[in-house]
Structure 1
Amino acid sequence: MGKPFSANSISQFLKSEHRKVSVESIYNYIRWLEQAFIIYPCQRYDLQGKSVLKTQEKYYLADCSLKYALLGYNRKMLDGVLENIVFLELKRRGYDVFVGKNGTKKIDFIALRRDEKVYVQVCVQLPENSDREIGNLMEIRDHYPKFVVTMNPLDTGIENGIRIVHLKDFLLEDIK
């Protein structure tokens, strides 16, 4: 959930576990999970080349509780679950959602709808002594709305034109 996907890596892992599954079979399983609406793909988008990339896409669950049902609760999963919730909300609002790549920087989501574009970073809380979440957005030189969605109410506000919002507010308000 929310991690770059590589069928080859999965095939290699299964081989190391003495289970042989071809890369093609893994892609078939992924396609079947998509067709059953259990997972949604999120392709990567290169901001500099303004194109959709063919590799390193991510997948998100249609229902985050599936992960908890299989693996139980673990506090370390909260980042991925939060990202999954934001992805699903952007899709619900009618956006085409991509994972952003800006040179070597990662943007959690680029959401496109008609002539609208929105950039979104997601974190449980802003890291101390790091501007990674805000800094990645500041390097984007256009003037479309930029958001950081967090679970920490003390982090909210506006920094350098970037709105830092609590997840609850992000889910309740329009993000224009």
Structure 2
Amino acid sequence: MKEELAKVLMEWQETWTPELVEREFDFSLIPWELNKVVTFAGCRRAGKTYLMFQLINELEKTTERESIFYVNFEDERLEKNIETLTELIPTIEELYGKKEKLYLFLDEIQNVEKWDSWVRRVNDSRRDVRLFLSGSSSKLSSREIPTALRGRALTFEVFPLSFREFLRFRDFEVPENVKFSRKKPELLNLLREYVLYGGFPEVVLTKDTRIKRMLVRDYFNTIIALDVVERYGVRNPEELRAFIRLLLNSEYFSLSKLERTMKSLGYSISKATLSNYLRYLQECYFAFPVEVYSPKVKLRIQYPKKVYFVDSAFITFLSVKFSENFGRLMENTVFIELLRRGKEVNYALGNNWEVDFVLPDEETLIQVSYDVSNPETMERELKALKKAKKLFHWKKAVLITWDEERKVDGIEIVPLWRFLLEGY
């Protein structure tokens, strides 16, 4: 085991980081002066590893190379047990000597059994070691960080590229005044591509739609196989896949109805199992159930949930209904952007009206509609926002459209590109 670990460490020192397009990340947020473990949590292939590489490149400007080490715990040569972690620092010091400061970047660390106890011990006992962790599991997020690390870790959640990052990856410079710029048609064309095919970095850099499809399907299969089936010991993967297909083709769901549908398809499954499947998908950052906004817990449980996915590409390539509703892809894009900005999100439902997003912390309502050129559509969307404003006694309401921009009855109508680039 120690020989393989030594080989992995030496290979890292010889190869170093690859060329990369930089993500938007404020490295000043990392508390270098505090003894904190830094974690990056997010969906597989969203860019956590390259963000770590970007941080390593920054660190290399002031730190010698042999003080920085990256280990990927999906490397098949490494045993996924606590003994591997225990041997890590002694092996580094045996190979390269004891350093004044050691920086360890440990990728997909959740694959290692009892990783959190080792991290706590090292963080508490070795002030000369700084730990940076990443994983495709919400167990590394600030909401679910193991008890052993509470108060010791600072978490950054990593999502696929924002629209601004997407434009940088496509070498498009945003003009100062988009609304009146000659480059606006090109911007809208790129926005349509972003909404359809999402922000996974590798997919963005691939122009052939057929290759995009292959990549997204491969991501999906890998997420299900490694982050759900293997990690949680799912006994019936085909049953799980059928459940996911139903979610991908549904804007709303209730576990009771899904249970009946699954049984009608020939699957003998319980509501409890479906609840576990949903939790697994949420923990690996693949799917996000959203509850109705209500101070009454009973109503939150009783009402159907809406479901969104970490990237709209999954809807585009794995759903049979995506082409019927570009608005759903827009809505999914807005939802992920709200998560990226750290918002708490619900939806609102009333008598013959619905509001897509409710942000309780900001007392803000957001509606998403692709095309409001039809007066009846505009009236319907504005009516829902007005009713919700009156019900909740909130002042701020926003209608996000493809390219409309004005103010009606105190409601801001904002084009999607402006919301993604500037906010609301």
Structure 2 length normalisation: TM-score? 0.37
Tell me the equivalent position of 1:173.
Answer: 422
Q: Which ranges of structure 2 fall in alignment gaps of 5 or more residues?
A: 1-247
Deviation at 1:67, TM superposition (A): 2.1
Aligned equivalent of 1:124, options 363, 370, 373: 370
Q: Is the 8 A contact 1:123 1:150 kept in 2?
A: yes
Aligned equivalent of 2:301, options 30, 34, 54: 54
Tell me the equivalent position of 2:287.
Answer: 39
Deviation at 1:5, TM superposition (A): 1.4
Q: Which ranges of structure 1 fall in alignment gaps of 5 or more residues?
A: none
Larger Rg: 2
Deviation at 1:29, TM superposition (A): 0.7
Where in structure 2 are the equivalents of 1:6-155 lying within 5 Å? 6-46=254-294, 50-51=295-296, 53-55=300-302, 56-71=304-319, 74-113=322-361, 116-126=362-372, 128-130=374-376, 131-139=379-387, 140-141=389-390, 142-151=393-402, 153=403, 155=404
Helix, strand or coil at the partner of 1:33: helix
Deviation at 1:65, TM superposition (A): 0.8
Q: Deviations over 1:84-126 (max 9, x none)?
A: 111111122221100112454211111133xx22100111111
Deviation at 1:144, TM superposition (A): 2.4
Deviation at 1:38, TM superposition (A): 0.5
Q: Is the 8 A contact 2:363 2:394 kept in 1?
A: no
**Cα distance change on mapping 1:61 and 1:102 into 2, 3 Å:** same
Which one has a larger percent helix, Structure 1 or Structure 2? 2
Q: Distance in 2 between matches of 1:79 and 1:165?
A: 15
Q: Distance in 1 between matches of 2:290 and 2:410?
A: 27
Deviation at 1:143, TM superposition (A): 4.3
Task: In structure 1, give the amino acid aligned to 2:324.
Answer: K
Per mean C-alpha deviation after superposition, the further-off stretch among 67-76 and 77-86 is: 67-76
Helix, strand or coil at the partner of 1:45: coil
Deviation at 1:71, TM superposition (A): 3.4
Q: Is the 8 A contact 1:90 1:111 kept in 2?
A: no
Per mean C-alpha deviation after superposition, the further-off stretch among 27-36 and 12-21 is: 12-21
**Cα distance change on mapping 1:51 and 1:68 into 2, 3 Å:** same
**Cα distance change on mapping 1:106 and 1:72 into 2, 3 Å:** closer
Q: Deviations over 1:44-83 (max 9, x none)?
A: 113xxx4451231212101111222323784213121111
Structure 1 length normalisation: TM-score? 0.85
Q: Distance in 2 between matches of 1:161 and 1:44?
A: 24
**Cα distance change on mapping 1:96 and 1:6 into 2, 3 Å:** same
Q: Distance in 1 between matches of 2:278 and 2:407?
A: 39
**Aligned residues, how many?**
168
**Cα distance change on mapping 1:32 and 1:147 into 2, 3 Å:** same
Deviation at 1:174, TM superposition (A): 2.9
Q: Distance in 1 between matches of 2:293 and 2:326?
A: 24
Cα RMSD over matched residues?
Answer: 2.1
Helix, strand or coil at the partner of 2:282: helix
Task: In structure 1, give the amino acid aligned to 2:401.
Answer: T
Tell me the equivalent position of 1:164.
Answer: 413
Helix, strand or coil at the partner of 1:96: coil
Helix, strand or coil at the partner of 1:44: coil
Q: Distance in 2 between matches of 1:37 and 1:17?
A: 27
Helix, strand or coil at the partner of 2:395: coil
**Cα distance change on mapping 1:89 and 1:51 into 2, 3 Å:** farther
Q: Deviations over 1:1-26 (max 9, x none)?
A: 57221112122112222222211111
Q: Is the 8 A contact 2:311 2:336 kept in 1?
A: no
Which structure is richer in relative contact order (CA contacts within 8 A, separation 6 or more)?
1
